[in-house]
Amino acid sequence: MKTIFMSIVIATFSFFATVARASGLTLTPDGISRGFKISTFASNFPTDPNNVYDLNGAGGVLFTNKGLLVGNEAFGTVQLFARDCDGRDASKVAPTAYYAVGLGGPTGMVKGKFQGKPRYYLATWQSEVFEINPDGTPIRKSRNRSG
């Protein structure tokens, strides 16, 4: 359980590494004594140079049996990273799937179970929900935008 939590903490902190440096993100003495560390999983996420939608870099993250999926809100892509590998350069990892760009891009991903088998879902800014494969490629759109 500690390993899973630790992986989530590392992944979460790594995506906000730029903010962390600016804000002086540190662990508490209790966290350090329990063996937690802050590291950078990946950097150099592609950003929109025009910052049209004020959405840049990594958005949602999801651990699957293939690795770690990272959604990029600015470009509407999903990238797949191998697990347990810090120091990755996101600009060198090809997207596995493309969704809507800008305000239509991925906002989050979640894993569920149906009859004991994992199922993965991706939500977009346009209130669309896709069932996705463990590598981020779409299986089907399971919910259309309302209204």
- Per-residue pLDDT, 9: 44
Q: How many domains does the chain have?
A: 1
Could you tell me the residue range of the domain that residue 56 belongs to? 2-143
- Per-residue pLDDT, 24: 65
The per-residue pLDDT of the chain, averaged, comes to 76
User: For residue range 6-46, what is the model confidence (pLDDT) as tens digits?
Assistant: 444 444 444 444 444 444 678 899 999 999 988 888 888 87
User: For residue range 110-134, what is the model confidence (pLDDT) as tens digits?
Assistant: 999 989 899 999 988 778 889 999 9
φ and ψ at 27, to 5 degrees?
A: -90, 155
CA dihedral sign, ordered 21, 24, 29, 31: negative
User: For residue range 53-90, what is the model confidence (pLDDT) as tens digits?
Assistant: 666 667 788 889 898 888 887 778 899 987 667 888 88
- Per-residue pLDDT, 41: 83
- Residue 79's alpha-carbon distances to 27, 105, 145, in angstroms, are 28, 13, 24
- Residue 4's alpha-carbon distances to 1, 31, 59, 102, in angstroms, are 5, 15, 20, 31
Cα(37)–Cα(48) distance, integer angstroms: 31
- Per-residue pLDDT, 133: 93
Cα(113)–Cα(119) distance, integer angstroms: 6
Under the banding of pLDDT at 50, 70 and 90, the label for residue 103 is low
